[in-house]
Amino acid sequence: MTEGEISQKVSLVNQATEATVVEKMIEALSLYGMKIIAAVLIIVVGLWISKIIKSCFLKTLQKKKVDPTLVGFFASMLHGGLVIFVFISAISKLGVQTASFVAVIGAAGLAVGLALQGSLSNFAAGILLILFKPFKVGNFVKAGGEAGVIVEVGIFTTEMKTPDNVQIIIPNSTIMGSAITNVSAHPTRRIDMTLGVGYDDDLNMAKQIIEDLLAADERVLKDPVATIAVANLGDSSVEFVIRPWVNSADYWAVKFDFTKAVKEKFDAEGISIPYPQSDVHVFQEKSS
């Protein structure tokens, strides 16, 4: 075989190889190119649809007057879940096995959940507080071992302000795990007071004075009628229970004013308010 024939055969082999490579490239492009285009379309269309779903979800919750804190949180969670679903679908379209991705996401979620048990507990409690509303901003509440006016109910913590203007931040799980006393839940409250008078004093006069003082105070409600009754015969006094009803905002003012007024009126009318006292008797033994 001459050198020319060898060169010709090599050239034919190279041409055949090049043709095969080109054919495989065209085949790969025709196969994977469509998949890539489909994956890109899935991402673009999926993200667009996810935004529409999020917007509709927001409008629905807002129409139902759901708490704004929950609206934003749930909308973000929904959008995040849809985005993850879209990207997993796009990867799957390329022929990549997504089972491993799902497993990794699940394992990561489990690890995060175990690491943030306390935070997740506070989160769940925050959702319950916002949904069931045992109190709202502005209410005076006793909860979690603290008492104060609610300033903000968050996803993880609740902020309250004490009467002496101290900020307190309580984990939501602590609040949900304890009894909640909402002092501001109703527009009216009953003031419960106990007042003692001497055994030698005129009980009818004392009761009349209490009735007149309550009647003269416009903040005391006429309905329900205030309760004034002799409740107990104590060691050193006869005890009256006094239970007028007032608007919640007037509770402390009425209580303080009435306490001062009844003391002054009893003093003016000569009615005593006994206080605990002890009589000490000293006996001297006679010497034999």
Q: How far is CA 157 from CA 67, 160, 163, 221, in A?
A: 16, 10, 20, 38
Residues 127 and 150: their CA atoms lie apart, in Å, by 16
User: Which range scores top for mean pLDDT: 13-22, 64-73, 130-139, 272-281?
Assistant: 130-139
* pLDDT higher than 80, residue 117: no
Query: pLDDT tens, 127-161?
Result: 888 778 888 888 999 998 899 999 888 878 889 99
Average pLDDT over residues 202-212: 93
Residue 104 identity = V
Position 97 scores a pLDDT of 65
pLDDT above 90 (res 242): yes
Predicted pLDDT of residue 188: 94
Provide long-range contacts, Cβ within 8 A and 24+ apart, for 35-38.
35/93, 35/94, 35/95, 36/94, 38/93
The pTM (predicted TM-score) of the whole model is 0.59
List the structure tokens of 48: 């667009």
Q: Which amino acid is at 245?
A: W
**pLDDT band for position 112 (50/70/90)?**
low
Asked whether 214 and 203 are in contact (CB, 8 A), the reply is no
Q: Supply the pLDDT for residue 15.
A: 54
Q: What is the pLDDT of residue 243?
A: 96
Give me the mean pLDDT over the 207-231 stretch.
Answer: 93
pLDDT tens column, 10-48: 455 555 565 565 566 566 556 566 777 777 888 888 888
